[in-house]
């Protein structure tokens, strides 16, 4: 069993003290835990706000955009998706099925990003227009992602729930 925990390890351990959890290898036989170091929605919202304010004002100075860490966050998502794909590919070619569990603290933001990116990388169907629409419907709308809250569509007074999670996926 491979557990892909999207959170930074320190965040996962800190969640334990507030009633959340983190898997322990002692509870799972032959388990490997991969921490992907992807920050939470609040960090992403702050990075996007810096990007929006600073980069549009001075698009020619890449140092200002670099300071937002937006591309670093995108890079971590891609690295994590690549890890998932490599595990699946390795399992397929060795004809040795493995279980892969992907999650974050709540299971709907980073998890949705990683599963969606992995689907795009693994299956060319999702790289077609109809396939991409299907992917969005399944992963972002039907499976419980807080799409309207994160995008701010129809969620008046819930600004703290907004975060550019979907925009990151599109980037």
pLDDT category at 151 given cuts 50, 70, 90 is confident
Q: What is the pLDDT of residue 133?
A: 97
**Two tokens at 101?**
């569990």
Answer with the residue of higher pLDDT: 40 or 66: 40
Q: What is the pLDDT of residue 135?
A: 96
Non-local CB neighbours of 80 within 8 Å, separated by 6+ positions = 4, 6, 36, 38, 114, 117
Cα–Cα–Cα angle for 21, 72, 169, rounded to 5 degrees = 75
Q: What is the pLDDT of residue 152?
A: 77
Element (H, E) at 102: strand 100-103
96 flagged as catalytic = no
Rg, the chain, Cα only? 17
Among the listed residues 55, 65, 104, 119, the single catalytic one is 104
pTM greater than the 0.85 cutoff: no
Condensed to tens digits (0 to 9), the pLDDT of residues 27-37 reads: 788 889 999 99
Q: Is it the case that residue 83 has pLDDT exceeding 90? A: yes
- Greatest distance between any 2 Cα atoms in the chain: 53
């Amino acid at each position: 069993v491979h557990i892909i925990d999207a959170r930074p390890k320190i965040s996962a351990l800190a969640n334990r003290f507030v009633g959340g959890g983190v898997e322990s290898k002692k509870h799972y036989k032959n388990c490997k835990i991969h921490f992907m170091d992807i920050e939470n929605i609040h960090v992403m919202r702050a990075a996007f706000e810096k990007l929006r304010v600073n980069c549009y004002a001075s698009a020619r100075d890449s140092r200002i955009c670099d300071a937002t860490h937006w591309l670093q966050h995108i890079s971590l998502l891609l690295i994590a998706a690549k890890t998932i794909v490599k595990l699946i590919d390795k399992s397929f070619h060795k004809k040795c099925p493995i279980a892969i569990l992907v999650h974050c603290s709540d299971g709907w933001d980073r998890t949705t990003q990683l599963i969606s990116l992995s689907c795009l990388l693994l299956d060319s169907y999702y790289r077609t227009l109809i396939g991409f629409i299907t992917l969005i419907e399944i992963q972002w709308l039907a499976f419980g992602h807080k799409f309207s809250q994160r995008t701010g569509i129809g969620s008046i007074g819930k600004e703290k729930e907004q975060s550019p999670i979907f925009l990151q996926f599109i980037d």
